[in-house]
Amino acid sequence: SQQGEEDPQALSIQEGENATMNCSYKTSINNLQWYRQNSGRGLVHLILIRSNEREKHSGRLRVTLDTSKKSSSLLITASRAADTASYFCATEGGSSNTGKLIFGQGTTLQVKP
């Protein structure tokens, strides 16, 4: 079954605006990761946040994690047309620590120039 559920399913914004995507999950995790997928391509890792971390930054990306609410958010600031892609959260986790990731259904982001 799906572990991560993204919200919204689709998002359309103007270049320069901020984009926020949310992810909720069901069970305990070791870490949560965000990936980007451009149309027709493989997934590209963006950022990883561990269960004992609350916030992480990488360039224009900001990720938060709230383990009490079992949720995470990805913020892309000052968006660009090149940010147009699908974004997936993926959780690895619980006591098994297997390295196995469970992906959500993704948020499709369109950034209009």
Partner 1 sequence: DAGVIQSPRHEVTEMGQEVTLRCKPISGHDYLFWYRQTMMRGLELLIYFNNNVPIDDSGMPEDRFSAKMPNASFSTLKIQPSEPRDSAVYFCASSFVKDTQYFGPGTRLTVL
Backbone angles phi, psi at 82, to 5 degrees: -70, -10
Output the CA torsion sign for 34, 39, 44, 47. Answer: negative
Q: Does 105 bind partner 1 (CB under 8 A)?
A: yes
Amino acid at 56: K
- The interface region with partner 1, picked from 19-27, 29-37, 65-73, 75-83 by CB under 8 A, is 29-37
Q: Does 58 bind partner 1 (CB under 8 A)?
A: no
Q: Does 48 bind partner 1 (CB under 8 A)?
A: yes
| Binding positions for partner 1, rule: CB under 8 A | 2, 31, 33, 35, 41-45, 48, 88, 92, 97-106
